[in-house]
Structure 1
Amino acid sequence: MACFFRRSVALQLAKVCGVSEDALIPLISAVPVSKKKASADLRVSVISLLRSGAAADGDLQTQTQALANQIRPDAVVEEAVAGRGVIHFRLNKLTLAQKLLGQLLSEPDGFGVNSELLRHLQGGRTLVEFSSPNIAKRFHAGHLRSTIIGNFIANLKKALGKEVIRVNYLGDWGMQFGLLGAGFERFGSQEKLRTQPLEHLFEVGRSERLVCVWTCSSCVCVCVCVQVYVRVNREADGDPSVRPAAAEFYRRLVRREAQALQLWTQFREITVLEYKRIYQRLGVDFDHYSGESAHDGQTQSVLDELRTKHLLKTTEKGTGVVDLSVTGDMSSYATLVRSDGTSLYITRDVAAALDRKQRFGFDEMIYVTDKSQTVHFQQLFHILTAMGHQWAERCHHVAFGLVQGMSTRRGEVVFLEDVLEEARSRMINNMRQSTTSKVLEDPEQTAERVGISALIIQDFKGPLMSDYKFDWDKVLQTQGDTGVFLQYTHARLCSLLRRHASEPYSCSDVSPLMDSRSVSVLQHLLRYDEVLLQSANDLQPRHLVNFLMTLSHLVASAHRELPVKGSPAATAQARLCLFSSVRSVLANGMRILGITPVEKM
């Protein structure tokens, strides 16, 4: 509905600029709400008008004033005011309230996402690869960022009308499985793993002084893998026979030897089952679980194609490389084959990209990993382009920084489940101490959802590439720009609507909403589609987080100063309509971020 107002302004501008209104609509933006004074509703840069073909004489300020003077008030635009190179438009506030709230009441899920401003983003297929932990290991806390960022991107693309394929590309191949296999053959026991998993866990891991609180056999098996892997790595430092044994086990895997493959398959299946349980807690799901192993057999055809196109060169050491240098002098290259003929991670990534394009026919593919892999993806896209695959230009790497100082009461955090447990336990404690907490049917679930919200908002507040220092006290604050405050605002609005559930309301009369608090909320809602567009353009969640936080603060002020109870019927109805509309936008935005809104807390 924001585009209704942009189009109204564009119609006025088109008459005076001689430019089509469709070309002008993207140039018109909502003005951020000011806390200090009343602000205009929309604005347009005169420089952008001139670039689009508008004709005007004189210096920039003269042109700005001349164009503003030609705008005539109508039923939508009340006034055009010349600023410094910008024209500000004040809208009829009654029309603003009627149009915005009318759409939100009739089509709450379509608000913003169906905007004309976003129409060019609709359609097509997007593949998002994210999370991608290594199997046979517990879910490391370091994978949390990839998981929630990838989930946000997938949610956003789907909300904007894309068909989305969510892929979890597991690290389930490579030399580390040679070490794991060799270690299990030395220290592990299938019989004990089946019949006495806990006892065997402590037996194989007793030198690691492991304390495990899990009791299910699948979790125990993952712990066994972890402990075997840790132990065999330590053994390798002092036992020269370990590394050759690991290399031999990996060669057996590559040759698809039955016994080695059976052990690998067992660890993979058990680990994926455990990961799915954690993903369920996070509210994350995947359409496709893949892995390096699925593409190891396809690497030979990749290498053959590279040789046919004279892209693969053999070094003096016998490795196969692709020259990435601009001048062709091998000053920069990527290694795709070891001297023993086995493939590398990037070789399997090339094979995976080619396979995905053939299987899924994506229009764009997005990889979400930490910034240490930036060079890897630059090389990957370079190789795909050199092979003649122009669609590689529509492949993107979304990189993120590191989290510093994440710890629990027991010490430094290593595993994601420890983070989730800490968030839930701290949130439960905070809720018990709060005097405003409601009686909940499932306080554990509410605490978990609010705790996860706090983690997500903390992560999404700044640029993804930035490292940040983690602080539990700041993360779980009820005031300020936190996930707890966001959930609390949503829950308070739900509570208000429940209390007045027996009182029907409509947006037929919005005249009681002409006060400054209500108008500020309406003006801010005008920005929603722009924020979604900005988020889609750079795939950064902070724009949406900032929008929702500002909306929460604005509606919190309105809730304090604009009572429903005790107000005249027309005023009460209008305010309920406003608060219901804000609740819908908050919930929709939270879901795009990957947050499950709670209705009580």
Structure 2
Amino acid sequence: MAACAFRRSIASQLSKVLDLPPESLIKSISAVPVSKKRCVADFQLSIASITEDSSSSCLSQDLNLQAQKLAERLKCDAVVSEISAGPGTVNFTINRELLAKTVLQQVLKEGSEYGVKSELFSAVPKQKAVIEYSSPNIAKKFHIGHLRSTIVGNFIANLKVALGHEVIRINYLGDWGMQFGLLGVGFQRFGDKEKLKSSPLQHLFEVYVQINKAAEDENIKELAKDFFRKLEGHDEQALSLWKQFRDFSIEEYIRIYKRLGVRFDEYSGESLYQEKSQEVLKMLEDKGLLQKTMQGTGVVDLSDKKDLSSFSTVMRSDGTSLYITRDLAAAIDRMNKHQCDTMIYVTDKSQSSHFEHLFQILKLMGYDWAERCQHVSFGLVQGMKTRRGEVVFLEDVLDEVRARVLQNMASAKTTKQVEDPMDTAEKVGLSALIIQDFRGLLSSDYQFSWDRALQSRGDTGVFLQYTHARLCRYDEVLYRSSQDLQPKHIVSYLLTLSHLAAVAHRTLPVKGSAPELAQARLCLFQAARSVLASGMKLLGITPVTQM
């Protein structure tokens, strides 16, 4: 009888008084957020959620009166120790001893499955989701934005898997396009095959920077266009060089993702869809959606009104494909291949317009499933610098955070001897990056701070008495995150739980207590640790046992 059972018990009593089925009341009963300043109830019923006519005048006054009358008709029992009316709500406080005992028993019994079995998810159908995230561009910076896409996508995938959904994790590489015309010419001029093998991302980036400077020369631009035309035309020599760029880069990406604890089911890429994008252009033409401009480029009109046209360019004047054309081909191919219920794209918010166009064109082409496609966008990270300067590669960030944590461990008096300090520092450092990133709304830009990321103390003054109550609300936090795909709800919960556990650790000693009391307190800490570990794993954090 944890959170679910408490809701059921409250719903059962309400059902008799209101003459409504208990099932229809359960979702109207929500946990009350913990307050640091005052004691609050554990659960509350919103009167508006069970009132059919909630648009009448004097609404708030009516709701307050209804709440007062309903509270007076309800009685306390073995489960509910106090009932009161609030502004438009009826509040329920649970019997403290029963709450602590039942919640701890359920946490310890269900372990990592605690929370995900909640009846809050019973009405949510199990789905198959394709999630595209990380998606770096070969030869360009694998920067902090890619870190955000990687950890956010990994969180969404972890959460969906934990809730019983089937997930296909796709890394859609930027491995095609005009930049490979430049890179091909650049490598022929400035490339080194040994450097390409030993440090592909670094070397290709250096070559790309050099050839971009040289591309002010019109001759270089023409050579780049010619190289890309050869790629699109399956020229053997051009394709062989391009394949080396791609294969060596993927090897290095896999090594970096391993450090992050991230994996993918598929490494896809734009290159796979260069031919299918021509099929998409033919489909657009057959449906009368493809229009030609005076310059010869192909566009699709997305406007409802013909006077305010919004065009999306889908073809160059020479007939070659664009990023959006390849994305259209990829979306159609994935849906045919996986027959999924939803497709989620995790990228920064600068690409919002691109995905709006993508989904609109798919709808115009007659694909109803475009309604089930979703772009999860995130803001920009500012101020990320390592000791060596501006961040160029993700690996620079991982090396920096590991070095800083090792330094902190060496200088801290409380640091224990650990078997593998390097591995511990890596995991702790990654936790610091993830938590700083996930604390706010994903759509918000934020200023990165190494000091803030790595500080060992957070908020203070959190009250102890609601530790048990906070534990029983984990399922609601998971439910909120599953609805809006925002990790901040879980982060906020885990941080509060950590502060409460720290206060409990100081004030509820296990050693030296009477055996029965010691056992109860040990159960509390085991339960807190179990929930903390489950939540951390969802966020992509590997819990450490010593640090």
Q: TM bucket by the smaller chain?
A: over 0.9
- Indicate yes or no: 2:77 matched with 1:66: no
Deviation at 1:122, TM superposition (A): 4.6
Report the 3-state secondary structure (helix = DSSP H, G, I; strand = E; otherwise coil) of the residue aligned with 1:437: coil
Separation in 2, partners of 1:358, 1:74:
55
Match of 2:5 in 1: 4
In structure 2, stretches of 5+ residues that fail to align are none
Which of 178, 183, 195 is residue 180 of structure 1 equivalent to? 183
Match of 2:87 in 1: 84
Match of 2:126 in 1: 123
Contact 2:141/2:392, CA 8 A, preserved across alignment = no
Match of 1:48 in 2: 49
Separation in 1, partners of 2:452, 2:46:
39
Separation in 2, partners of 1:183, 1:304:
33
Contact 1:7/1:25, CA 8 A, preserved across alignment = yes
Deviation at 1:357, TM superposition (A): 0.2
Which of 304, 311, 321 is residue 299 of structure 2 equivalent to? 321
Match of 2:245 in 1: 267
1:235-267: CA deviation from partner (whole Å, max 9, x where unpaired): 111x22100000000001001111111100011
Separation in 2, partners of 1:81, 1:525:
23
Which of 361, 381, 388 is residue 359 of structure 2 equivalent to? 381
In the superposition, relative to structure 1, how do residues 57 and 253 fare at CA in structure 2: closer, same or farther (>3 Å)?
closer
1:164-189: CA deviation from partner (whole Å, max 9, x where unpaired): 11000000000000000011122335
Match of 1:580 in 2: 526
- Indicate yes or no: 2:440 matched with 1:462: yes
Separation in 2, partners of 1:113, 1:218:
45
Match of 1:521 in 2: 467
Separation in 1, partners of 2:101, 2:281:
63
Match of 1:231 in 2: 210
Contact 2:200/2:252, CA 8 A, preserved across alignment = no
Which one-letter code corresponds to 1:456 in the other structure? I
In the superposition, relative to structure 1, how do residues 8 and 219 fare at CA in structure 2: closer, same or farther (>3 Å)?
farther
Separation in 2, partners of 1:304, 1:121:
39
Contact 1:218/1:271, CA 8 A, preserved across alignment = no
- Indicate yes or no: 2:540 matched with 1:591: no
Report the 3-state secondary structure (helix = DSSP H, G, I; strand = E; otherwise coil) of the residue aligned with 1:241: helix
Aligned pairs for 1:504-543 (under 5 A) are 517=464, 519-543=465-489
- Indicate yes or no: 2:280 matched with 1:277: no
Separation in 2, partners of 1:436, 1:58:
56
Which one-letter code corresponds to 2:315 in the other structure? V
1:431-456: CA deviation from partner (whole Å, max 9, x where unpaired): 11111111000001101110111001
Contact 1:137/1:223, CA 8 A, preserved across alignment = no
Separation in 1, partners of 2:231, 2:3:
58
Match of 1:569 in 2: 515
- Indicate yes or no: 2:201 matched with 1:222: yes
Which one-letter code corresponds to 1:21 in the other structure? P
- Indicate yes or no: 2:32 matched with 1:20: no
Report the 3-state secondary structure (helix = DSSP H, G, I; strand = E; otherwise coil) of the residue aligned with 2:199: helix
Deviation at 1:336, TM superposition (A): 0.5
1:299-321: CA deviation from partner (whole Å, max 9, x where unpaired): 12211211221111111111111
Normalised by the length of structure 2, the TM-score is 0.96
Deviation at 1:138, TM superposition (A): 5.4
Which of 264, 274, 282 is residue 286 of structure 1 equivalent to? 264
Match of 2:310 in 1: 332
1:347-395: CA deviation from partner (whole Å, max 9, x where unpaired): 0000000000011111011101011100000000001111111111111
1:304-350: CA deviation from partner (whole Å, max 9, x where unpaired): 21122111111111111110112134620101011100010000000
Contact 1:181/1:249, CA 8 A, preserved across alignment = yes
Which one-letter code corresponds to 2:280 in the other structure? V
Match of 1:436 in 2: 414
Contact 1:188/1:228, CA 8 A, preserved across alignment = yes
Match of 1:258 in 2: 236
Aligned pairs for 1:91-490 (under 5 A) are 91-137=94-140, 139-188=142-191, 193=193, 197=194, 201=195, 218-237=197-216, 239-329=217-307, 331-480=309-458
Contact 2:432/2:453, CA 8 A, preserved across alignment = yes
Deviation at 1:268, TM superposition (A): 0.2
Separation in 2, partners of 1:120, 1:282:
34
Contact 2:398/2:426, CA 8 A, preserved across alignment = yes
Report the 3-state secondary structure (helix = DSSP H, G, I; strand = E; otherwise coil) of the residue aligned with 2:314: strand
Separation in 1, partners of 2:400, 2:364:
48
Separation in 2, partners of 1:125, 1:308:
31
Separation in 2, partners of 1:383, 1:57:
45
Which one-letter code corresponds to 1:113 in the other structure? V
In structure 1, stretches of 5+ residues that fail to align are 202-216, 486-515
Report the 3-state secondary structure (helix = DSSP H, G, I; strand = E; otherwise coil) of the residue aligned with 1:23: helix
1:458-517: CA deviation from partner (whole Å, max 9, x where unpaired): 111111111111111111000016xxx9xxxxxxxxxxxxxxxxxxxxxxxxxxxxxx83
Contact 2:100/2:469, CA 8 A, preserved across alignment = no
Report the 3-state secondary structure (helix = DSSP H, G, I; strand = E; otherwise coil) of the residue aligned with 1:29: strand
Separation in 2, partners of 1:346, 1:120:
36
Which one-letter code corresponds to 2:4 in the other structure? C
Separation in 2, partners of 1:539, 1:221:
34
Separation in 1, partners of 2:97, 2:422:
44
In the superposition, relative to structure 1, how do residues 442 and 307 fare at CA in structure 2: closer, same or farther (>3 Å)?
same
Contact 2:302/2:360, CA 8 A, preserved across alignment = yes
Report the 3-state secondary structure (helix = DSSP H, G, I; strand = E; otherwise coil) of the residue aligned with 2:12: helix
Deviation at 1:218, TM superposition (A): 3.2
Separation in 2, partners of 1:128, 1:452:
22
Normalised by the length of structure 1, the TM-score is 0.87
Separation in 2, partners of 1:440, 1:555:
23
Separation in 2, partners of 1:413, 1:305:
42
Contact 1:19/1:52, CA 8 A, preserved across alignment = no
The number of equivalent residue pairs is: 540
Deviation at 1:57, TM superposition (A): 13
Separation in 1, partners of 2:362, 2:411:
57
1:561-594: CA deviation from partner (whole Å, max 9, x where unpaired): 0000000000000000010000000000001111
- State the identity as a percent: 57
Deviation at 1:95, TM superposition (A): 2.1
Separation in 2, partners of 1:478, 1:57:
44
Which one-letter code corresponds to 1:526 in the other structure? C
